[in-house]
A and B are shown apart, each in its own frame.
Chain A
Amino acid sequence: MIARPRILAMLIALVLALAGCGGVGNDPSGDAGGKASLTTMGFGLPDEHATARVDVYRKAHPDVDIRINEGNFDEQQFLSALASGSPPDLIYLDRNKLGSFAARAAVQPIDDCVKRRNVDMSQFRQGTVEQVTFDGKLYGLPEFAQVRLLIMSNTVLREAGLAPDQLSTSDWSALADAAKRLAKVTGGRVERIGFDPKVPEFLPLWAKANGVDLVGDDGKTVRLNDPKTVEAVRFTTDLVAEQGGWSQFKAFKDGFDMLGARNQYVTGQLAAMPIESWYINTLAANSPDVDVTVLPFTDRSGTPVTTAGGQAWAIPKGAPHPEQACDFMVTMTATDTWVTAAKARRDALAKQNKPYSGTYTANRAADEKIFAEVYDGQSNKIIDAGVRVALSLQDKVFAWPANPAGAELLKVWESAVNRVLLGQQSPEQAMQQAQQEADTAIQRAGR
């Protein structure tokens, strides 16, 4: 009985020692064995587009150890890393948010870095470069460029007696009627969504379609309470209200297998919605035979219009290895790297018997090469139609310059639209409040 506690005590001591090692042993910025180690935040390695490009860099720089902390970019996580003096070397984030960090000097300008490496910035699509430029300085290199387009289920449309090309976002009252006809709501339960306007995320697109830019060319005026913005909010939230109301609508949407073989188009849970162009590929890969039509999203006069979503690489202030970080982002966005990645992606998909729908980047030269050399016209009809539409939209892109309060703005209008969706405020009230919040945020960021 007396011998036992000693063993226990020893065991405990051992555990404590082990725990101590576990805690201290993982120094996040440690350069192991003289090798510079580059850490990234916000980037992931979901497919060959990512892995093949990282491999290109690895091959060119065997002396650098890359540590990719996978997961989406978490703004506050980044800020607290910055605050505690241990920022990563690179961040990968939505281009719309970059302005906030540039205004706070949380990221550094990269004009020098780009100049010294002779990067031809004119290769990049102009809209995407504007998104990463703040106060005349370049703060990031743009990556993908995803246009937005409409995808609709022919089966559902025909069932409702509508021809697919009849449905468009040009005539709003016709769209509202069609949505009501296509939706299936029985006894308060949503069984099919007719048309999902994708608000709050797509509000800028709807506002643009109604003739107003949410953010002005100076990057400092916002037009959230503009009557046309309010009209867009009212129209889109009414669409949702007419199709079961937000709570029902959202709960139903949460059950979609968006990225799987039993997605909403296959199951007939949805008739139509606008979405980013990558979805064409997902759809073709998971359900190659689903009968859909792809069309551009049009403004009220019928002209195609789209935002170009996508991420950018940027270097935080105080990054331990800015030179290597610059090499890395230049390599990741270079034409040849993209072409290599596109090939790898195509081949990997081919191995799984899945079609490849092209790669859409902010680098025009890369896109041209990819669609000339890598993409080889597919037998899949979703992709055939989709690629044509996506390519036709590439130069119809509207973008606004980096905004000093980009990240806050996003929150401001998203929660304003949410308040309307939940019936807590009228569109006017919500957008009026949003305008005030946005003005304050911009003022605070600009001081």
Chain B
Amino acid sequence: MARTTLRRTETRWGYFFLSPWIVGMVLFTAGPMVASLLLSFTEYDLINEPKAVGTANYAELLEDPKVGTAVWNTLFYTALHVPLQIALALALAMLLHRVGRGVSFFRTVLYLPVMTPPVAMAAMFLLLLNGSTGVINEALRFFGIDGPNWTTDPAWIKPGIVIMGLWTAGSTAIIYLAALSGVPEDLYEAARLDGAGAWQQFRHITLPMISGAIYFTVIVNTISSLQMFTEAFSMFFGSNIAESSEGDAALFYVIYLFQQAFRSLRMGYASALAWLLFLIIVVITVIQVRVSRRLVYYEGER
């Protein structure tokens, strides 16, 4: 009897504390998702009442060449950005791990770019990446390489943005550093006694032991890369710049979604676009989760 009252109070208080989140989820997640699905079958421009148009938005989406461009740009960027970012972060983390004393200095320096507002970063890199006056090409020239036009040549715009992204690899590196410090030193000692070389130690100890952290960062970085917006929008889109002068090479999916929704006021079409993005993200994430099951080493499963 007393037990059930206690349980009932627990339940009541539990939901009391959960209530903000439940309300918020209904108002800002679940409700909007339903609304978005319904909207995607309408034409709505904020001025006139929504008009049901059946699957017209989805049909348009399949034929819209800009959707194809945007999907391609986004996937291309993600495929380039995520592995490079993670490789660099891992390399930095391993260096940091070996430094020992003095690590906090380097850690701070590597993390500073993460604090820079992406808009400021974009303004800065627009000049640093400029093909004829930017410092990056000047450095390449020093090595006798004629650098490409990172900001005006459609073929090099995305690689340019990837380079800019590497500057913020510090945030991922810090996570790996924490993971590395959790790897027991005696594993290495044992391996060394067995005659394992540096590569073998890395391949058979380091990688498996921090695979959880890598898995986490791959998923998070992929989801955020697929939603690339701020840097590219700041650099290549604006009220003043001829928006197509780079031939849509920087038209990422969320930028197009944003334009359709808030520039052209096509809320219905934008909702259909949002669902396509959702689908893409879900598919990619599921694939990553599946693959990780084979590759990720969990301590608990020993």
Q: Mark B137-160, 1 if CB is under 8 A from A, else 0.
A: 000000000101101111010000
Say how far B77's CB is from chain A's closest CB, in angstroms. 19
Find the B residue at minimum CB distance from A190.
B132
A residues near B148, Cβ cutoff 8 Å: 247
Does B245 belong to the interface (CB within 8 Å)? Answer: yes
A252-B244 contact in complex given A83-B46, A187-B146, C-beta closer than 8 Å: no
Q: How far is the CA of A230 from the CA of B221 in the complex (A)?
A: 46
Does B170 belong to the interface (CB within 8 Å)? Answer: no
Q: Are B146 and A251 in contact, CB atoms less than 8 angstroms apart?
A: no
Q: Are A418 and B242 in contact, CB atoms less than 8 angstroms apart?
A: yes
Residue from the set B130, B132, B153, B242 with the largest chain A CB neighbour count within 10 Å:
B132
Say how far A195's CB is from chain B's closest CB, in angstroms. 18
Q: Mark A83-125, 1 if CB is under 8 A from B, else 0.
A: 1100000000000000000000000000000000000000000
B residues near A79, Cβ cutoff 8 Å: 265
A83-B239 contact in complex given A250-B245, A251-B152, A415-B244, C-beta closer than 8 Å: no
Does B263 belong to the interface (CB within 8 Å)? Answer: yes
Q: How far is the CA of A187 from the CA of B133 in the complex (A)?
A: 15
B residues near A255, Cβ cutoff 8 Å: 130, 132-133
Say how far B266's CB is from chain A's closest CB, in angstroms. 11
Q: How far is the CA of A14 from the CA of B50 in the complex (A)?
A: 40
B residues near A251, Cβ cutoff 8 Å: 130-133, 149, 151-153
Does A443 belong to the interface (CB within 8 Å)? Answer: no
Q: Are B242 and A419 in contact, CB atoms less than 8 angstroms apart?
A: no
Q: Are A77 and B244 in contact, CB atoms less than 8 angstroms apart?
A: no
Q: Are B151 and A254 in contact, CB atoms less than 8 angstroms apart?
A: yes
> Does more than half of chain B's interface fall in helix, strand or loop, or is it mixed?
loop
CB contacts under 8 Å to B, within A246-287, are 246-248, 250-252, 254-255
> Does more than half of chain A's interface fall in helix, strand or loop, or is it mixed?
helix
Does B247 belong to the interface (CB within 8 Å)? Answer: yes
Find the A residue at minimum CB distance from B155.
A247
Q: Are A424 and B247 in contact, CB atoms less than 8 angstroms apart?
A: yes
Q: Mark B19-51, 1 if CB is under 8 A from A, else 0.
A: 000000000000000000000000001110000
A77-B45 contact in complex given A247-B131, A251-B149, C-beta closer than 8 Å: no
Say how far B268's CB is from chain A's closest CB, in angstroms. 14
Does B202 belong to the interface (CB within 8 Å)? Answer: no
Q: How far is the CA of A189 from the CA of B130 in the complex (A)?
A: 13
Does A422 belong to the interface (CB within 8 Å)? Answer: yes
Q: Are B244 and A76 in contact, CB atoms less than 8 angstroms apart?
A: no
Q: How far is the CA of A419 from the CA of B249 in the complex (A)?
A: 12
Does B262 belong to the interface (CB within 8 Å)? Answer: yes
B residues near A83, Cβ cutoff 8 Å: 45-47, 265
B residues near A246, Cβ cutoff 8 Å: 152
Q: How far is the CA of A188 from the CA of B45 in the complex (A)?
A: 48
Q: Are B131 and A248 in contact, CB atoms less than 8 angstroms apart?
A: yes
A residues near B132, Cβ cutoff 8 Å: 189-190, 248, 251-252, 254-255
Q: How far is the CA of A73 from the CA of B240 in the complex (A)?
A: 9
A422-B265 contact in complex given A80-B46, A250-B152, C-beta closer than 8 Å: no
Q: Are A247 and B152 in contact, CB atoms less than 8 angstroms apart?
A: yes
Q: How far is the CA of A82 from the CA of B265 in the complex (A)?
A: 11
Q: Are A76 and B247 in contact, CB atoms less than 8 angstroms apart?
A: no
Q: How far is the CA of A415 from the CA of B247 in the complex (A)?
A: 8
Does B4 belong to the interface (CB within 8 Å)? Answer: no
A72-B133 contact in complex given A79-B265, A251-B152, A424-B247, C-beta closer than 8 Å: no
- Residues of B at the A interface (CB closer than 8 Å) are 45-47, 130-133, 146, 148-149, 151-154, 156, 239-240, 242-245, 247, 262-265
Ordered by A's residue number, 27 sampled pairs between the chains whose C-beta atoms are within 8 Å are A72-B239, A73-B239, A74-B239, A75-B239, A79-B265, A80-B265, A83-B45, A200-B242, A247-B131, A247-B149, A247-B153, A247-B154, A248-B149, A250-B149, A251-B130, A251-B131, A251-B132, A252-B131, A252-B132, A254-B151, A254-B152, A255-B133, A411-B244, A414-B245, A418-B245, A419-B247, A422-B247
16 extra interchain contacts, Cβ-Cβ under 8 A, other than A72-B240, A251-B151, A252-B131? A71-B239, A75-B239, A76-B263, A79-B265, A84-B46, A246-B152, A247-B148, A247-B154, A247-B156, A250-B149, A252-B132, A414-B244, A414-B245, A418-B242, A418-B245, A419-B247
